[in-house]
Amino acid sequence: MRRTLGFIGGGKMATAMIKGLLHQDYPKVKILVADPDPGRRQELAVLGVTAFPDNSAAVAEAEAVILAVKPQKVEEALRGVKFRPGLPILSIVAGYSTARLEKLLPGLRILRAMPNVAALVRAGITALAPGKSAREEDLAWGKEILQAFGRVVLVEEEMMNAVTAVSGSGPGFVFSFLAALTDAGVLAGLPRALAGELAIQTLLGSAKMAAELGEHPVVLREMVTSPRGTTIAGLLELERSGFAGAIMQAVSAAKKRADELGE
């Protein structure tokens, strides 16, 4: 385990990763973060990490670096930064291929990952792919880091933009469904707090069933769908509204945008 990590970028996803790494059950690491926003640096300092305005300062002592900036900010963020030869770099930049990074950072060992925001509560899932320059030891290190805040799956890099659309953007789609289910409860006459509690636990319990029972979602759906019952009546309205198609279109749009960001 590398004990000194440098973050270039201290936004929401980087912060979620840092909180996971600093969790009491995880070995102590020294974390250095660079971010241009003074307010964000102050928030990071509260977590007990060292925050800098300058990217070079965050990588000077680092044994490995996590690149966590917006795709359009990558070249600006890396400009003028001096990296030690052979330094491992873990990029969580959406849509940005390892091949592009290897051109910008020759001689460095590149990994690409796509975590999701559930890392904030150590319940995330992250896809990890090595670049051509990465070694087996880098892959092992990347997996160890990412497991601090959830599950890790190894994928081919060509799948990464699709992963971004499903698990990276997916929480946004799920939160939209959660908000709609809560509003529907209010419309049906429930107090908002109760509607929210019911909706949240319903999502949690349903996901837990899917994870633990290992059945296809359609099979699980049949478990709560009885002839002329309430569930089948509601499912009919979802079908009429194009629910499944809307989800697929949302994921396709997110995938297309990830492709565009990588161009």
Q: What is the pLDDT of residue 17?
A: 87
pTM of the model as a whole: 0.88
Looking at residue 148, what is its pLDDT? 86
Average pLDDT of span 7-23: 88
Q: Mind listing the domains of the chain with CATH numbers?
A: 4-158 (3.40.50.720), 170-261 (1.10.3730.10)
Grade residue 3 by pLDDT with cuts at 50, 70 and 90: confident
The pLDDT value recorded for residue 113 is 96
Three-point CA angle 218, 219, 222, nearest 5°? 90
Q: Is 70 exposed, middle or buried (0-12, 13-18, 19+ CB in 10 A)?
A: middle
% of the chain with per-residue pLDDT over 70: 98
| Mean confidence (pLDDT) of the chain | 93
Could you report the per-residue pLDDT of 88-145, keeping only the tens digit for each?
Answer: 999 999 889 999 999 999 999 999 999 999 988 889 999 999 999 999 999 999 998 8
* Position 188 pLDDT exceeds 80: yes
Tell me the pLDDT tens digit for each residue of 219-246: 999 999 999 999 999 999 999 999 999 9
Residues in the chain, total: 263
Distance between CA atoms of 13 and 171, rounded to whole angstroms? 13
Res 152 pLDDT > 90: yes
Q: Where are the beta strands (DSSP E) in the chain?
A: 4-8, 30-34, 50-52, 64-67, 88-91, 109-114, 124-130, 150-154
